[in-house]
Copies of this chain bind each other. A is one copy, B any other.
Amino acid sequence: MNTRADRASETRYRIERAAIKHFVEQGIGETTIRDIAKTAAVSLGAMYNHYDSKEDLAFNIFRQGFEDAGRRLRKCAEAQTTLPNKLRDMIRFAFSRFDEDPLLLTYVFTSRHIHLGHRRLGRLADSPNNPYAVFRVVIADAMARKEIPNTDPDLAASLVTGAVIQAIDSCILGRLKGKMIKRADETAAMCFRLLKG
């Protein structure tokens, strides 16, 4: 059956993929609704049947990717008991997810500081499921369990998430070549040493 709902979600999918592509290649501000509509092979008006505005579209894609990443990172952490294993699985996930859908991850990673209607995207999606929060919890727990020495958990979480994000960023910028997954275990080890004291 080709129901109305099917067509609607098919349209939404096409719009979102087209939007991500343009947002990453040209930036959100430089992308016009027409660009997206044309790439998605959808009429101009149809854009507004599915999203309130360009901002709404940009934000929704960001939040989905952001929260999905956070949620799955949390799953990785919960499935392991020791900090090195948690970090290893979290970073394996982050890097393989990037290898799998670099466009989406690039969008999410490079849009954190973009302003959407006078607020930063990364600020808007600041839920307990955001990746930073997940790393912070993992690190703070390890401190509580005396796996690593006590330091400011916010500073420590910042350094670790920054390291991971920047590795992906360097791949986006072309400084790191090839698949990221092959660097996951080494990165995880380095992050653990940073915390180990």
Taking Cβ atoms with an 8 Å cutoff, the residues of A that contact B are 25-30, 110-111, 113-115, 117-118, 122-123, 132, 151-152, 154-156, 158-167, 169-170, 173, 175-176, 183, 186-187, 190-191, 193-197
Asked if B193 and A197 sit within 8 Å, CB to CB, the answer is yes
Asked if A167 and B162 sit within 8 Å, CB to CB, the answer is yes
Assembly CA distance A27 to B29 (angstroms): 10
Q: So how many copies of this chain end up in the complex?
A: 4
19 intermolecular pairs with C-beta atoms under 8 Å apart: A27-B114, A27-B115, A27-B118, A29-B29, A110-B113, A123-B173, A152-B176, A152-B183, A155-B183, A158-B166, A158-B167, A158-B176, A159-B166, A161-B166, A162-B162, A162-B163, A162-B167, A162-B169, A191-B194
Q: Which residues of B contact A164 (CB under 8 A)?
A: 162
Asked if A155 and B176 sit within 8 Å, CB to CB, the answer is yes
- What is the chain B residue whose CB lies nearest that of A162? B166
Asked if B191 and A193 sit within 8 Å, CB to CB, the answer is no
